Amino acid sequence: MDPDPERVRRLVGALAREGLLEHSRSGYHLPR
């Protein structure tokens, strides 16, 4: 478990902005 969920949220947001993650109804996933 990560002790700093806010940090993880920012990281995921940055990855999504860079197009490295896609967000769907089921959550985040790597683009195919």
pLDDT at position 17: 87
Q: How far is CA 32 from CA 5, 10, 19, 22, 27, in A?
A: 26, 22, 11, 9, 14
The predicted pLDDT at position 10 comes to 92
pLDDT truncated to tens, each residue of the chain (32 aa)? 667 989 988 988 898 888 887 777 777 666 67
Q: How many helices (H) and strands (E) does the chain have?
A: 1, 2
CA distance 10 to 7: 5
